[in-house]
Amino acid sequence: MKRARQVLLASAVLGAGAAVARKRLPRSTAEPRETAARWLTVTINRAPTDVMPGDTLPPPLDGLADRLEARVRPAPGDRGTELAVRLKDAPQAAATSLPARLAGQDPRQEVRAALREAKSLLETGEVMRPDTPPTTRETPGGKLIGMLARRSSGEGVL
Amino acid sequence: MKALCWQGVNKLSVEQVPDPELRNDQDVIVRLIAGTTCGSDLHLIGGYIPAMRSGDVIGHEFLGEVVETGSAVRRHKVGDRVVVASFVGCGRCWYCANDLWSLCDNTNTNPGIAQAMFGYESGGIFGYSHAMGGLRGSHAEYVRVPFADYGAFHVPEAVDDTSAMFVSDSVPTGWMGADLGGVKPGDVVAVWGCGAVGQMAARAAILLGAERVISIDRIPERLAMTEQHIGAETIDYTATDVAAELRERTGGRGPDVCIEAVGMEAHSDGPMHLYDQAKQQLRLQTDRPTAVRQAIHACRKGGTVFVLGVFAGAVDKFPLGAVINKGLTVRGAQQHGQRYIPMILERMAKGELSTAHLATHTVPLDEAPRAYDMFKHKTDGCVRAVIRPGT
Ligand SMILES: NC(=O)c1ccc[n+]([C@@H]2O[C@H](COP(=O)([O-])OP(=O)(O)OC[C@H]3O[C@@H](n4cnc5c(N)ncnc54)[C@H](O)[C@@H]3O)[C@@H](O)[C@H]2O)c1
Ligand SMILES: [Zn+2]
Ligand SMILES: [Zn+2]
């Protein structure tokens, strides 16, 4: 209880939007909608005041700020700060379907990638970039791996 | 520049590839002095590690000279002789800050692939598939080292190139197995595998005060080397019943700590081997866990099994019953090199730990495919082949 109140307090103090309770949707339609509405979240090894100084989202999330709701709270056990964001307009199920994700058209992918980059920038001052130029040759299997790799900063458990 | 490229399953070739470039301000470019073959490479050469692309440069255990530094590099300058940890750690995420460097949050640029496989991704590693970040490997004339202030270490004058090179990967891996396996004075430790990793785990166990260390393999020259250079006892698993032998040597208790340094392509003579191999080839299991099963079975009640061998996915017939009924701790990790490298270099400079005997062969880069063939088939007494691009 005490912790829950502290957490709420922290997000209120930081003005990062109230910790919105997820709306319970009727069972039949809940799953895809629920996925689309889920908060995307990372834990950043920095203090909450470093993560959202003056209430503004850290780069590159700041560029998406008008489309996002956000909340921050201290992570338990000195693990830094939990930063959660989600699109104000939850995308339609079709937009988050597998084909859409493979095509790179799921709007959450951009948010996930930005969240990951924000964390890296705050923690290390840079976003590690892959090696170039590539040394690989195009093969059918290689193309598929390349596509997965390109999508992969926007996919996953974040 | 020239580089050793993976071309497909069991196909390696030396190719001309573009030079690497500084991509971030905290990068350095290292000119390779020496790199070496690692058992982990065999798993990707054999096609057991997913997400390799034709043309990928392999290699992750290496030493070199800094030839270019990014504008934010503070601890290195051009001309420094450095050994580089095989996993890249940013130094500032929660994992790096807690000395769990191979779990770094910020160095795997393709996190989604490993997240799909494991739930969460590990950090990036040089030359070890696109699932592990897709960084170029070190068997080349030059390699880019990201976050070099954290992953590259000055080598003391007293330590020669070849000896120091193993501090990149095999020495800290072995050390981690003994350390995180909880080896303490008075323990009896058993180590499966007498490759460089197993030998270094055995040596670390001795230096951490183990009363007896018993190493297990089948290759005569590796067993002899482990006795002579490491100071461990050995068991040839093809000549005896390993569990019975360990029971007899440990007063019926079993080893306190069992370290597995074999990995997903373990060999065995038993009928289980055919079963495992068939399932692996049919992709019904991705890995062959022979030595892990044996270690879990042999371990004393309440003991610890530490898995250093690399596994990529699912295994079959995992003896979960033994784990729970014997109250075992089972643990594994990719190596947290940055945690151990400074201490290891210091011990090497003082002569407490030597690695030179592991370098059984030295070849120029052009002959790297032949060196890997020898290393894979364990011919000509090969334990580690050193690849020297400058020769
Ligand atoms: N965790 C890490 O960070 C890390 C780092 C480096 C290497 N590794 C892994 O450690 C393992 C060993 O690496 P290496 O470079 O020493 O490889 P290696 O191929 O040189 O040695 C493996 C040894 O295991 C022996 N072996 C095979 N089946 C056995 C069995 N059933 N019982 C006992 N011994 C058996 C082989 O004869 C060989 O000597 C590999 O799986 C490698 O991928 C892990
Ligand atoms: Zn290795
Ligand atoms: Zn890190």
Check whether residue B34 and residue B147 sit in a common domain. Answer: yes
Is residue A6 in some structural domain? Answer: no
pLDDT digits (tens, 9 = 90+) for B360-381: 999 999 999 999 999 999 999 9
Cβ pair A153:B111 closer than 8 A: yes
Check whether residue B23 and residue B154 sit in a common domain. Answer: yes
Cβ pair B53:A43 closer than 8 A: no
Q: What is the dihedral of CA B41, B46, B51, B57, to 10 degrees?
A: 50
Interface contact B134, partner A, CB < 8 A: yes
Closest CA of chain B from A20, distance in Å: 26
Cβ pair A128:B124 closer than 8 A: yes
Identify the CATH number of the domain in which residue B224 sits.
Answer: 3.40.50.720
Q: Which residues of A135-151 are buried (b: 16+ CB within 10 A; e: fewer)?
A: bbeeeeebeebbebbeb
Question: What is the domain extent for residue A103?
Answer: 32-125
Of A109, A88, A106, nearest to A155 (Cα)? A109
**3-class SS shares of chain A: helix, strand, coil, % to 5:** 50, 10, 35
Query: How high is the pLDDT of residue A5?
Result: 35
Q: Find out whether B61 and B165 touch, Cβ atoms under 8 Å.
A: yes
* Mean pLDDT for all residues in chain B: 96
Q: How many beta-carbon pairs under 8 angstroms link A with B?
A: 130
B92 CB neighbours in chain A (<8 A) are 45, 123-124
A135 CB neighbours in chain B (<8 A) are 3, 5, 15, 17-18, 55-57, 136
Rounded Cα–Cα distance for residues B357 and B220 (Å): 15
Atom of ligand 1 nearest to the CA of B199: 16
Query: How high is the pLDDT of residue A6?
Result: 36
Check whether residue B223 and residue B360 sit in a common domain. Answer: no
Helix (H, G, I), strand (E, B) or coil at B62: strand
Query: How high is the pLDDT of residue B276?
Result: 83
Lowest mean pLDDT among A76-85, B66-75, B132-141, B274-283: B274-283
Is residue A43 in some structural domain? Answer: yes
pLDDT digits (tens, 9 = 90+) for B199-210: 999 999 999 999
Is residue A105 in some structural domain? Answer: yes
Interface contact B272, partner A, CB < 8 A: no
Residue by residue, DSSP assigns A115-152 as HHHHHHHHHHSS-----SS--PPP-HHHHHHHHHHHHG
Rounded Cα–Cα distance for residues B160 and B181 (Å): 30
Strand arrangement, sheet containing B304-307: B233-236, B212-217, B188-192, B257-260, B304-307, B329-332
In this model, does residue B285 exceed pLDDT 80?
Answer: no
Q: Find out whether B214 and B235 touch, Cβ atoms under 8 Å.
A: yes
Query: How high is the pLDDT of residue A133?
Result: 87
Rounded Cα–Cα distance for residues B105 and A124 (Å): 11
Which of B314, B332, B350 is a domain's end point?
B332
In this model, does residue B110 exceed pLDDT 50?
Answer: yes
What are B35's strand-pairing partners?
Answer: B62, B387
- Side-chain half-sphere exposure of B136, counting CA atoms within 13 A: 33
Which of B289, B305, B332 is a domain's end point?
B332
What are B124's strand-pairing partners?
Answer: B88
Cβ pair B51:A116 closer than 8 A: no
How far does chain A reach from its first CA to its final CA, in angstroms?
26
Interface contact B91, partner A, CB < 8 A: yes
Domain tally, chain A = 1
Rounded Cα–Cα distance for residues B5 and B125 (Å): 16
Check whether residue B175 and residue B209 sit in a common domain. Answer: yes
pLDDT digits (tens, 9 = 90+) for B124-172: 999 999 999 999 999 999 999 999 999 999 999 999 999 999 999 999 9
Check whether residue B165 and residue B187 sit in a common domain. Answer: no
Three-state secondary structure of B201-214: HHHHHHHCCCCEEE
Q: What is the average pLDDT across B248-261?
A: 98
Of B138, B4, B132, nearest to B62 (Cα)? B138
Rg (CA), chain B: 20
Q: Which residues of chain A have pLDDT under 50?
A: 1-30
Check whether residue B80 and residue B187 sit in a common domain. Answer: no
Which of B287, B312, B332 is a domain's end point?
B332
A21 CB-contact burial (10 Å; exposed 0-12 / middle 13-18 / buried 19+): exposed
Q: Find out whether A128 and B146 touch, Cβ atoms under 8 Å.
A: yes
Q: How confident is the model at residue B40 (pLDDT cuts 50, 70, 90)?
A: very high
Question: What is the domain extent for residue B92?
Answer: 2-169+335-388
pLDDT digits (tens, 9 = 90+) for B51-62: 899 999 999 999
Domain tally, chain B = 2
Check whether residue B185 and residue B241 sit in a common domain. Answer: yes
Check whether residue B346 and residue B319 sit in a common domain. Answer: no
Check whether residue B240 and residue B152 sit in a common domain. Answer: no
Q: Is B195 in the pocket of ligand 1 (CB under 6 A)?
A: yes
* ipTM of model: 0.94
Check whether residue B209 and residue B143 sit in a common domain. Answer: no
Which of B36, B38, B258 has most ligand 1 atoms within 8 Å of its beta carbon, as the pocket-test mutant? B38
pLDDT digits (tens, 9 = 90+) for B86-100: 999 999 999 999 999
Is residue A12 in some structural domain? Answer: no
Identify the CATH number of the domain in which residue B83 sits.
Answer: 3.90.180.10
Is residue A146 in some structural domain? Answer: no
Three-state secondary structure of B91-136: CCCHHHHCCCHHHCCCCCCCHHHHHHHHCCCCCEEECCCHHHCCEC
Interface contact B57, partner A, CB < 8 A: yes
More confident residue, B69 or B286: B69
Is residue A45 in some structural domain? Answer: yes
Is residue A42 in some structural domain? Answer: yes
Check whether residue B62 and residue B118 sit in a common domain. Answer: yes
Instruction: Kindly state the DSSP code that residue B219 receives in the 8-state scheme.
Output: -
Is residue A24 in some structural domain? Answer: no
Of B347, B255, B358, B234, nearest to B305 (Cα)? B255
Check whether residue B348 and residue B278 sit in a common domain. Answer: no
